[in-house]
Structure formats: structure tokens, C-alpha cells
């Protein structure tokens, strides 16, 4: 994908670029498929949800195992409204920032993706997979929902963001499900590359329904997420010594009897990539089988929650200059291409270079409005100065809002 490049220059020529890192701090992430389909699709799980809720609360409170850790929690399969109400109840689960429940899809139960966070997040949106397989109780019933992935920018510190993706790929081991799942991962790779170019810190978590080792009858392509976006799998990095398991039988026989063991590959995965202003350092990885079980040791879901504690450092840069007779250094910044008026677009392209998704919506107008009133959001003039006035104002937000609802207005941004 071609990206425009901005050359930064001034009257003084740059001769030095110093990089420093602030002291390390930490936060935790948790990924959990809660098995929240409503009855009669599966059995009633009201009791289990009531037990999961306080454990989500314990995860980020000072008295719990993860002492003093602020956290980001991503959930999958939270389809049932009553289960959502239980896990998001502010009286018992006190994360200050939470997503509203999605109610789209053919059965009105949404994509099942929700997040809780101690960090404020911005620009949250959901995207449905372009491929699914199975319905009516067969082959995973993926087409009975609008499963896909979601995105948001979490503000770890003032003006410092990590872009966090939550995904739930197609289930099932039949040929149709595996084909759809491979398409899901390809779609996700393209979207990350379009929306989170190198230089942006990224965390990707979710139920991938994929294994590096799976080969029969067709290989999963989850490894392309690593090669295609530059993210690393924390389990591979910390437990497997950085060596991605080869296709074939599971590497550890112990996984047959103890699938939550540290050497065992799970379909629930956590990936990360540092950015130009935020260095992420995974400190530990765990599958929390015991923590998320009932009083009798029974699992509260058919998936284990997986967690990582990240240390992080803020990277700052400074420049020095001298007279025009000195040698110079040029700094370049690479920006992703986005249409005028579309700062939060999910733009991605297939192998032929054809655009598959790009649209101006009310979410774009909201981001432009935030930029106009001085909130710390990314909004380049060549995308957000929709009336080409030379500055981003509330008038640009109003113009984009009118465009998004089909009013006959013209967007005219300056060139990038």
C-alpha cells in the first residue's frame, strides 16, 4: 500500500536526534471468551456469569493477584443482553470505560465483542467479517451472528495511545469454516496495516479459533498475522523462546491432560507491537484456569482466560540544530492514506489493490469535532480539514456529518 511521506524541515538543519525513555510502568490485559450465547442456543449460564463478574473486578483491584495493575479486558461471545448486564454492571464491575452492547446481525444478538478498560478509549468501532460459514446450529453457526473484530485507541498516558483490536474468528473444523477463518485473518491483517501503520503501538487479542500446528485438512493461517503486520505472539515470545510451533501434532503431550499448561497452544491469543512513542515489554503470560473457576474447580467457560502484564516506557525525541554550514539529518513521517472526511475509516485492499471498505460516517464527524475542540486525537488536515480552510474547525465536523447522511455537500481537503 502506498503511503504519502511528509518531510520535516526548518531554517536550521538537523544534526542530532536524541531518544530517551521515561521510567517503566505497567498494565495488564485479559482476553476471555465467556460463552455467552442466549438460551435456547445453549444452556442457561446465568449462574456462571454471576461468578465471572466479581473475578473480572478482582482482576484490576489492588487486593487481587494483579496488585495495583490497571487493565484492559476484551471479551468474546457476550451475546445475551442479560449476561452483558451482569458483566458490565457498574455496581460490581467498576472499570470506568466500557462498550455498549452491539445488537446487530440476523438475530439481533450482535458480534459478542465487548471491552472494559481502566484507560479511556476513543474511536471505537466494529467491523463484520466478509466471510462466514455455518448457520442454524451447524458448522459453528457463525453466520447467525455478525462476528468480526473491533478497534479502539486506549490512552495509556496523556497523549500516548495503544491501538487495541478484539477479534472472534469463524469456528468449526469443516472445510467451509476453515476457509472462512482464513479469510477472517487475511481481512484483519489488511485492516491493521491500513489503520495501524508501523509506528503505532498495537495489541491484538481474541478467540482466533486458530492453531499454528493445525494442518488437517487445511493449514490455519494465523502465522500471517505475525509476518503481515509485525506483531509478536506473547506466548511464542515468552514461553516458546520466540519459535513459532511448526505445523503438525501438538508439541507437548501434556496438553492432552492439561491444556491450560504454559507449553500448550490455545486458540485464545495475545499479540503486540511497540510504537514510535510507546515501547511495550511483556513480562509474563498465563492462562488463568484456577482464577476463573467456580468453588468446585469447574471452568466458568469453555475457554481459558489468557493474560499478559506489560511493562511500558514512553519514548520521547528531541532535536538539536546548528548553522546552515553543518551537515543535516532529515526526519520523515509515514502516514496511511485516508479519504477526505474519513479519519476513522477501515480502509483495506485485496491482493489486486481494490478498495474493499471505506466510508464517511458520523464517527468520522465526531473525531473531527474532537480535534476541533482540542482533544488529543489523530486528525490530519488532508483528511479532516474538509472545507480546505487551513484549519480544523467545528464547521468541518458539521460538513462531514451532512455528507455522511447523504446531504448534497462536497468535501474538499488539502493535499497530503
Task: Supply the range of the domain harboring residue 356.
Answer: 338-404
342 and 380 in a single domain? The answer is yes
What region does 400 belong to: left with phi over 0, alpha with psi -120 to 50, or beta? alpha
Predicted local distance difference test score (pLDDT) of residue 95: 95
Q: Pick 8 or 360 by higher pLDDT.
A: 360
The band of 333, judged by pLDDT with boundaries at 50, 70 and 90, is very low
Q: Pick 364 or 175 by higher pLDDT.
A: 175
Q: Give how far the C-alpha of residue 215 lies from the chain's centroid of Cα atoms, to the nearest Å.
A: 27
**Domain boundary at 316, 349, 366, which?**
316
249 and 377 in a single domain? The answer is no
Predicted local distance difference test score (pLDDT) of residue 360: 82
Look up the CATH number of the domain holding residue 61: 3.60.10.10
**Domain contains 322:** no
Residue 24 has pLDDT above 60, yes or no: no
CA angle 307, 308, 313 (to 5 degrees): 155
The band of 249, judged by pLDDT with boundaries at 50, 70 and 90, is low
- When mean pLDDT is compared across 2-11, 81-90, 126-135, the lowest value belongs to 2-11
**Domain contains 147:** yes
Look up the CATH number of the domain holding residue 369: 1.10.1330
**Domain boundary at 257, 285, 316, which?**
316
162 and 223 in a single domain? The answer is yes
300 and 399 in a single domain? The answer is no
Q: Let me know how many helices (H) and strands (E) the chain has, helices first.
A: 8, 17
Predicted local distance difference test score (pLDDT) of residue 352: 40
Predicted local distance difference test score (pLDDT) of residue 252: 55
Residue 327 has pLDDT above 60, yes or no: no
Predicted local distance difference test score (pLDDT) of residue 337: 54
Residue environment code for 175-207, b if the CB has 16+ CB neighbours within 10 A, otherwise e: ebbbebbbbbbbbbbbbbbbbbbeebbbbbbbb
**Domain contains 412:** no
**Domain boundary at 282, 316, 350, which?**
316
**Domain contains 414:** no
**Domain contains 10:** no
241 and 358 in a single domain? The answer is no
As a whole-number percent, the residues of the chain with pLDDT over 70 amount to: 81
**Domain contains 413:** no
* pLDDT, average across residues 35-42: 88
Alpha-carbon gap, residue 111 to 103, rounded angstroms: 8
299 and 394 in a single domain? The answer is no
* pLDDT, average across residues 32-59: 93
Q: Pick 363 or 329 by higher pLDDT.
A: 363
* pLDDT, average across residues 313-332: 51
Residue 350 has pLDDT above 70, yes or no: no
Residues 355-397 pLDDT 10s: 334 578 777 888 899 889 987 666 889 989 999 999 999 999 9
* pLDDT, average across residues 11-30: 54
270 and 155 in a single domain? The answer is yes
Alpha-carbon gap, residue 390 to 388, rounded angstroms: 6
Of 47-56, 262-271, 316-325, highest mean pLDDT: 47-56
The band of 203, judged by pLDDT with boundaries at 50, 70 and 90, is very high
* pLDDT, average across residues 7-29: 48
187 and 291 in a single domain? The answer is yes
259 and 400 in a single domain? The answer is no
* pLDDT, average across residues 41-53: 94
**Domain contains 1:** no
Q: Is the pTM of this model over 0.75?
A: no
DSSP line for 307-343: EEEEEEEEEEEEEEEE-TTS----EEEE-----TT-T
The band of 99, judged by pLDDT with boundaries at 50, 70 and 90, is very high
Q: Give how far the C-alpha of residue 259 lies from the chain's centroid of Cα atoms, to the nearest Å.
A: 25
Q: Which residues contact 136 (CB under 8 A, 6 or more apart)?
A: 144
Q: Is 263 exposed, middle or buried (0-12, 13-18, 19+ CB in 10 A)?
A: middle
Neighbours of 396 (CB within 10 A): 27
Neighbours of 287 (CB within 10 A): 20
Predicted local distance difference test score (pLDDT) of residue 67: 54
* Average model confidence (pLDDT) across the chain: 83
307 and 347 in a single domain? The answer is no
As a whole-number percent, the residues of the chain with pLDDT over 90 amount to: 60
Predicted local distance difference test score (pLDDT) of residue 201: 96
The overall longest dimension of the chain from CA atoms, in Å, is 77
Alpha-carbon separation of residue 223 from 127, 271, 277, 303 (angstroms):
21, 11, 26, 21
Closest CA to 278 of 311, 308, 309, 312: 312
* Count of domains forming the chain: 2
CB distance 62 to 68 below 8 Å: yes
Q: Pick 287 or 359 by higher pLDDT.
A: 287
**Domain contains 398:** yes
Residue 91 has pLDDT above 80, yes or no: yes
Residue 265 has pLDDT above 80, yes or no: yes
Residues 204-230 pLDDT 10s: 999 999 999 888 667 899 999 999 999
Q: Cis omega before residue 414 (within 30°)?
A: no
How many residues are given for the chain?
A: 416
* pLDDT, average across residues 73-84: 97
148 and 70 in a single domain? The answer is yes
DSSP line for 376-393: S----HHHH-TT-SSS--
180 and 292 in a single domain? The answer is yes
The band of 96, judged by pLDDT with boundaries at 50, 70 and 90, is very high
The band of 200, judged by pLDDT with boundaries at 50, 70 and 90, is very high
284: three-class secondary structure by DSSP = strand
Amino acid at each position: 500500500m502506498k503511503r504519502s511521506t511528509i518531510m520535516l524541515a526548518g531554517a536550521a538543519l538537523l544534526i542530532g536526534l536524541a531518544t530517551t525513555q521515561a521510567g517503566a510502568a505497567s498494565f495488564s490485559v485479559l482476553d476471555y471468551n465467556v460463552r455467552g450465547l442466549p438460551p435456547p442456543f445453549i444452556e442457561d449460564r446465568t449462574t456462571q456469569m454471576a461468578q465471572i463478574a466479581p473475578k473480572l473486578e478482582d482482576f484490576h483491584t489492588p487486593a487481587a493477584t494483579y496488585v495495583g495493575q490497571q487493565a484492559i479486558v476484551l471479551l468474546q461471545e457476550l451475546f445475551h443482553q442479560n449476561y452483558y448486564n451482569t458483566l458490565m454492571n457498574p455496581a460490581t464491575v467498576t472499570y470506568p470505560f466500557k462498550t455498549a452492547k452491539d445488537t446487530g446481525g440476523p438475530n439481533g444478538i450482535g458480534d459478542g465483542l465487548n471491552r472494559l478498560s481502566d484507560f479511556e478509549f476513543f474511536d471505537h468501532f466494529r467491523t463484520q467479517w466478509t466471510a462466514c460459514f455455518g448457520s442454524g446450529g451447524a458448522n459453528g453457526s457463525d453466520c447467525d451472528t455478525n462476528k468480526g473484530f473491533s478497534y479502539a485507541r486506549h490512552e495509556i498516558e496523556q497523549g500516548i495511545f495503544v491501538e487495541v483490536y478484539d477479534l472472534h474468528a469463524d469456528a468449526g473444523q469443516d472445510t467451509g469454516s476453515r476457509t472462512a477463518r482464513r479469510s477472517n485473518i487475511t481481512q484483519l491483517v489488511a485492516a491493521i496495516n491500513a489503520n495501524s501503520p508501523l509506528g503505532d503501538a498495537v495489541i491484538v487479542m481474541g478467540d482466533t479459533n486458530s492453531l499454528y500446528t493445525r494442518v488437517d485438512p487445511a493449514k490455519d493461517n494465523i502465522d500471517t498475522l505475525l509476518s503481515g503486520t509485525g506483531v509478536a505472539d506473547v506466548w511464542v515470545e515468552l514461553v516458546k523462546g520466540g519459535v513459532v510451533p511448526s505445523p503438525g501434532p501438538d508439541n507437548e503431550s501434556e496438553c492432552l491432560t492439561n491444556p491450560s499448561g504454559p507449553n500448550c497452544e490455545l486458540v485464545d491469543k495475545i499479540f503486540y507491537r511497540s510504537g514510535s512513542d510507546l515501547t511495550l515489554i511483556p513480562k509474563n503470560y498465563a492462562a488463568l484456569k484456577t482464577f476463573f473457576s467456580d468453588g468446585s474447580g469447574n471452568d466458568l467457560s469453555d475457554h481459558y482466560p489468557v493474560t499478559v502484564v506489560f511493562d511500558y516506557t514512553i519514548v520521547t525525541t528531541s532535536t538539536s540544530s546548528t548553522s546552515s554550514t553543518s551537515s543535516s539529518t532529515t526526519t520523515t513521517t509515514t502516514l496511511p492514506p485516508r479519504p477526505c472526511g474519513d479519519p476513522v475509516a477501515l480502509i483495506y485492499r485485496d491482493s489486486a489493490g481494490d478498495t474493499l471498505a471505506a466510508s464517511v460516517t458520523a464517527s468520522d464527524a465526531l473525531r473531527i469535532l474532537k480535534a476541533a475542540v482540542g482533544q488529543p486525537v489523530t486528525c490530519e488536515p488532508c483528511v479532516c480539514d474538509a472545507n480546505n480552510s487551513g484549519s480544523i474547525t467545528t464547521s468541518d465536523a458539521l460538513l462531514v456529518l451532512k455528507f455522511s447522511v447523504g446531504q448534497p455537500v462536497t468535501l474538499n481537503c488539502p493535499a497530503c
